Amino acid sequence: MVQAHCQRRVQGHRGEEPVNAPIGVFDSGVGGLSILQALQLHMPAEDFVYMADNAHAPYGERDAAFVRERATAIWHTLRDEHHVKALVVACNTATALAIQHLRDAHPEVAFFGVEPAVKPAAAHSQTHRVGVMATPATLGSDKFIQLLNSLKGQAEFVLQPCEGLADAIEQHWRDGKDAPVKALCEKYVSAMGDFGSQAGQIDTLVLGCTHYPFALPLLRPLVGENVTILETGEPVARHTQQVLAERGLLADVARVGRVNFLATGDSLIGVRSQF
């Protein structure tokens, strides 16, 4: 979990060299913190500005135009007010619906996205049956459908739109009530069918929304110990670090990075962080 001490050391750009400018990270809410944690582990010298667009969450049940508009507005804020040197779209839904739009409008900027780990899941699965939990918007997006089509014949994918789950996880951070999250996890896991390592069972589960790793303690007992659960924080952090290095944009290694937490709705500071 992102450390509480980072929340207290709130700062913006420190007026240093452009390489030491912060990296912007955004999500509809707390979900992107699962990505931020991996980014911090890989790049401890970097400053980050984390934006939770929680006044407009959840994204997963919105249309593409709305999510594009939000992504554009957040990019402008992070660029103009916080001078970020790159942006990590730490949201599968916004990546699916808006990242191409951002790249087309600003080809000079390094934008990084997250997408459901279906490719490593297909390579990993021994039963060739993979479950994918994601928002309805991600699963219905052209980008995701193209990704699945590129893996035709490699595995059978059981797609589970999880309406309401990101929102329930968001609420849990505020009120600590895990019953709604538990009920939705049970409903969606049972809808996907049998989990296990026997032929015909799902042996690999992809968490295709950055909120869902926070429900891992509830999901694990439902699918069993033998099922591999994949999320995207580590590969995204590795890729971000590699591209920033290639572009000469990594911060000086002697620094200690800081995080500035921002939200369009309720502040993230003081919210709960664990089930």
- Given the complex with ligand DGL, which of 36 and 57 has the nearer CB atom? 57
The three-class DSSP label of residue 212 is helix
Tokens 């900027």 -> residue = 109
* Residue 185 annotated among the catalytic residues of the structure: no
CA dihedral of residues 161, 163, 169, 174 (deg, nearest 10): 170
Q: Say how many Å lie between the first and final Cα of the chain, rounded.
A: 11
- Given the complex with ligand DGL, which of 20 and 141 has the nearer CB atom? 141
Given CA atoms 182, 186, 31, 207 in this order, what sign does their dihedral have? positive
Residue showing the smallest CB distance to ligand DGL in the complex: 60
Query: Smallest distance from the beta carbon of 244 to ligand DGL, in angstroms?
Result: 22
200 burial level (CB within 10 Å; 0-12, 13-18, 19+): exposed
Query: Smallest distance from the beta carbon of 131 to ligand DGL, in angstroms?
Result: 16
- Given the complex with ligand DGL, which of 21 and 261 has the nearer CB atom? 261
Q: Which residues bind ligand DGL (CB under 6 A)?
A: 27-28, 31, 57-60, 91-93, 135, 138, 166, 209-211
- Given the complex with ligand DGL, which of 198 and 267 has the nearer CB atom? 267
Query: Smallest distance from the beta carbon of 251 to ligand DGL, in angstroms?
Result: 26
Query: Smallest distance from the beta carbon of 173 to ligand DGL, in angstroms?
Result: 12
- Given the complex with ligand DGL, which of 60 and 131 has the nearer CB atom? 60
Determine contact, residues 205/131, Cβ cutoff 8 Å: yes
Given CA atoms 142, 147, 153, 159 in this order, what sign does their dihedral have? negative
Query: Smallest distance from the beta carbon of 51 to ligand DGL, in angstroms?
Result: 13
Determine contact, residues 171/140, Cβ cutoff 8 Å: no
Rounded Cα distance between 63 and 176, Å, is 29
Out of 6, 91, 162, 185, the active site residue is: 91
- Given the complex with ligand DGL, which of 30 and 251 has the nearer CB atom? 30
Q: Which two tokens stand for residue 118?
A: 């279906």
Query: Smallest distance from the beta carbon of 201 to ligand DGL, in angstroms?
Result: 26
Q: Which two tokens stand for residue 104?
A: 């087309």
* Residue 209 annotated among the catalytic residues of the structure: yes
Specify the pairing of strand 110-112 against strand 48-52: unpaired
Rounded Cα distance between 152 and 200, Å, is 17
Determine contact, residues 35/210, Cβ cutoff 8 Å: yes
Tokens 């402008």 -> residue = 76
Active site residues: 91, 209
